[in-house]
Structure 1
């Protein structure tokens, strides 16, 4: 799409002055191409705007989260738990927070963040299970993958199938993380009791956005823990979204092939 966009504006005469260049590009897009080409360029422009907006907002949220963690970090407990699991080569940050928090964070350098509330609520075996769950997310680079998936989904709302695929992906990575815990502990009990406690706690504290135990995956996770040998049936995307997305991609492909050759 970016190659096609560069082709569309390749005939624009760029001069000194940002405002003049923007004006020339808008005039070229509006009167220098066919109706379909104009729609295509506007679609790419919308995609770019949504992409840059998503990146900006994510950077802002990440900065706020980083400042919060830095302000609330518990140095002694952080050192203790990171040292206990030093073989993982993954930092474990403990923050002062009465609500139960357990998540994998960091795009390039993943780390585990847990709260003092979580440590007070769970037993040592349950804490170990939760840490294994989050360690799997870190080892598989799930924070980065989810960030990239979110950027694509929000940048291309006209491809409706992407939203369904993103939700399906979110569920599966939670199920795979639980399966990793089961294989490491040879039991479904500790991760199951930890999950139930966190689900119950979230009924009293739903405002906190950092808990990784997403509502969309809880039922599937409980089903897997109750019957670990039974296949999980996760609904795929609807046929309507498949058909609509296919039509959109076909139209875009036709415009690129037949209008830009």
Structure 2
């Protein structure tokens, strides 16, 4: 179970492709708006910009601007929805917080320097929550059905997510995928990263406990219970990659083969990126 570079390669590839597309979009907008006279009247300026985009440039340039608008709209829509969901989740946690258990478990793992919030909830909940300051959220239902060793293994799993800032990474990756659906390879790489994110968190728990048993039995118990219904995109313990995780737990010394991107998806994404490059190249000449 040596150190793997595949997950980091996948997420950095997503970041690089997204940054490259955003750069191309900025260049395109700069070129499109370069011949527009700035006006103090905002409504007049918008009218001039729209008229210039519709009549002053080629069909492909106008089409690319529409693609930019679609990308921005989808990203901001995702951002707005996640802000709303996060606010609702934070209110839910605050309303159901168990002060005594929260204080007890945070004190027990104070050397981690990570808050452990315990909420009053009958269904088992365990997830890493928070973008800039990640914390662990568990429910009283989880503490009731798991043994002490299993709870420790689950907390180690979630600690790994907090240390790696996986909630923030997951949020950024999903925003990019939602905003750029025309690059289909990004979706496959995002799924690949999220699966390995869980596998590596399990490996961290296995390494810290020197056993696959606590994390394995905890996973089996939680997948057999009803899924906690929330639209909040934290990094939950038993939400994804179940088959791969069970395979790793059964045969921890054997490599886990996780598919990333299909040939068709890779080819179609390359075509899209080439077309974007050609549009930028020819409109700026």
Q: Give the counterpart of 2:134 among 95, 100, 110.
A: 110
Match of 2:229 in 1: 207
Unpaired runs of 5+ in structure 2? Answer: 1-24
Unpaired runs of 5+ in structure 1? Answer: none
Change (3 A) 1:252 1:130: same
Question: How many Å apart are 1:221 and its aligned residue?
Answer: 0.1
Q: Give the counterpart of 2:65 among 36, 41, 58.
A: 41
Match of 1:135 in 2: 159
In the alignment, the residues of structure 1 paired with residue 135 and residue 30 of structure 2 have an alpha-carbon distance, to the nearest angstrom, of 39
Q: Structure 1 residue 70 and structure 2 residue 91: aligned?
A: no
Q: Give the counterpart of 2:172 among 143, 148, 164.
A: 148
More divergent stretch after superposition (138-147 vs 235-244): 235-244
In the alignment, the residues of structure 2 paired with residue 91 and residue 10 of structure 1 have an alpha-carbon distance, to the nearest angstrom, of 50
Using the size of structure 2 for normalisation, the TM-score is 0.88
In the alignment, the residues of structure 1 paired with residue 172 and residue 254 of structure 2 have an alpha-carbon distance, to the nearest angstrom, of 31
On the 8 A contact 2:219/2:238 being kept in 1, the answer is no
Change (3 A) 1:199 1:209: farther
Match of 2:210 in 1: 186
Question: How many Å apart are 1:214 and its aligned residue?
Answer: 5.0
Question: How many Å apart are 1:85 and its aligned residue?
Answer: 0.4
On the 8 A contact 2:123/2:228 being kept in 1, the answer is no
Match of 2:52 in 1: 28
Question: How many Å apart are 1:215 and its aligned residue?
Answer: 4.6
Match of 2:200 in 1: 176
Deviation per residue, 1:204-243 (Å, 9 max, x gap): x453456713554000000000000000011121111111
**Higher RCO, 1 or 2 (CA under 8 Å, sep at least 6)?**
2
Question: How many Å apart are 1:47 and its aligned residue?
Answer: 0.6
In the alignment, the residues of structure 2 paired with residue 15 and residue 133 of structure 1 have an alpha-carbon distance, to the nearest angstrom, of 56
Q: Secondary structure at the match of 2:36?
A: coil
* Paired residues, number: 259
Match of 1:234 in 2: 258
In the alignment, the residues of structure 2 paired with residue 238 and residue 201 of structure 1 have an alpha-carbon distance, to the nearest angstrom, of 33
In the alignment, the residues of structure 2 paired with residue 19 and residue 209 of structure 1 have an alpha-carbon distance, to the nearest angstrom, of 38
Match of 2:11 in 1: none
Question: How many Å apart are 1:259 and its aligned residue?
Answer: 1.3
Q: Secondary structure at the match of 1:104?
A: strand
Deviation per residue, 1:72-104 (Å, 9 max, x gap): 111110000000000110000000100000000
More divergent stretch after superposition (10-19 vs 246-255): 10-19
Q: Secondary structure at the match of 1:39?
A: helix
CA RMSD of aligned residues (A): 1.3
Using the size of structure 1 for normalisation, the TM-score is 0.96
Question: How many Å apart are 1:7 and its aligned residue?
Answer: 2.3
